[in-house]
């Protein structure tokens, strides 16, 4: 009799535990934790900039062509390779006035336009989270047009530049740059200032 009562009690306890375990619902967190979506840059960027050219003097036959300072605009398309390096395709358009000089006297003046394409390697050194210094060098191709002097020429060479970039927000930076070209002509060196947009 005692064995039957003992077995019945054990069976009843096991049945109660199984029944209780089946009714247990998963515990819901009291506070819902929002998902965090981090923004990652693609590595691509665009720089839209204005420019000023310094002008230069070059020999053209018996005369000297003396270019004064002028203005223009440019756009750079870049991709960051990592470790501070990037590659860029640069295009710029500029114009200035070119004087034809003979024996030190101005004999004619004409408007000149320059279309410049470049492929550059850029290295940026980050001084702080918002300030960086960069240097660039690359191959350059330029078309020079001075209709009054019947000049429609193209030339190629190398360009070298240094500059600074200042972060103004997460997606854009202010950029200033000085650039020298080995292409001889009345265009001269360039100073750029513009805005970099990161993607």
Q: Residue 5: pLDDT band by 50, 70, 90 thresholds?
A: very low
Q: Give the domain extent around 181.
A: 44-198
CA–CA separation, 143 and 111 (whole Å): 14
Name the β-bridge partners of 142: 116, 155
In a domain, 168, yes or no: yes
- The answer to whether position 143 is within a domain reads yes
The 3 state secondary structure assigned to 58-107 is: EEECCEEEEECCEEEEEEEEEEEEECCEEEEEEEEEEEEEEEEEECCEEE
In a domain, 182, yes or no: yes
Tell whether the model's pLDDT for residue 25 goes beyond 60: no
pLDDT at site 24: 54
Residue-wise pLDDT tens digits, 103-159: 889 999 999 999 999 999 999 999 999 999 999 999 999 999 999 999 999 999 999
Contact 142, 155 (CB under 8 A): yes
pLDDT at 80 over 50: yes
The pLDDT score that the predictor gives to residue 60 is 82
Q: Is residue 25 part of a domain?
A: no
Residue at 58 is within a domain: yes
- The answer to whether 70 and 191 are in contact (CB under 8 A) is no
Q: What are phi and psi of 19, to 5 degrees?
A: -65, -45
Whether 95 shows a pLDDT value over 50: the answer reads: yes
CATH of the domain at 160: 2.40.160.20
Residue 86 lies in a domain: yes
pLDDT at 18: 46
The answer to whether residue 24 is domain-embedded is: no
- Residues counted in the chain: 199
**24 backbone dihedrals φ, ψ, rounded to 5°:** -75, 120
The whole-number average pLDDT for the span 61-76 is: 94
Between CA 67 and CA 54 the distance in angstroms is 8
Q: Percent of the chain scored above 90 by pLDDT? A: 73
Structurally, the chain folds into a number of domains equal to 1
Question: Does any domain span residue 34?
Answer: no
Split at pLDDT 50, 70, 90, the class of 47 is: very high
């Amino acid at each position: 009799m005692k064995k039957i009562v003992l077995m019945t009690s054990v069976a009843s306890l096991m049945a109660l535990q199984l029944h209780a375990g089946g009714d247990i619902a998963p515990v819901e967190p009291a506070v819902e934790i929002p998902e965090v979506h981090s923004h990652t840059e693609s590595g691509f960027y665009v720089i839209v900039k204005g420019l000023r050219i310094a002008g230069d003097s070059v020999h053209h036959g018996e005369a000297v062509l003396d270019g004064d300072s002028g203005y223009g605009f440019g756009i750079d398309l870049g991709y960051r390779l990592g470790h501070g390096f990037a590659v860029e395709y640069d295009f710029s358009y500029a114009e200035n006035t070119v004087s034809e000089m003979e024996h030190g006297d101005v004999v004619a003046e004409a408007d000149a336009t320059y279309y410049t394409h470049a492929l550059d390697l850029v290295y940026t050194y980050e001084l702080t989270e918002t300030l960086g210094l960069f240097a660039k060098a690359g191959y350059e191709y330029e078309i020079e047009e001075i209709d009054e002097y019947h000049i429609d020429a193209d030339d190629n060479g190398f360009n070298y530049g240094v500059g600074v970039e200042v972060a103004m927000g997460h997606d854009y930076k202010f950029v200033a740059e000085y650039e020298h070209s080995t292409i001889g002509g009345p265009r001269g060196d360039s100073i750029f200032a513009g805005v970099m947009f990161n993607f």
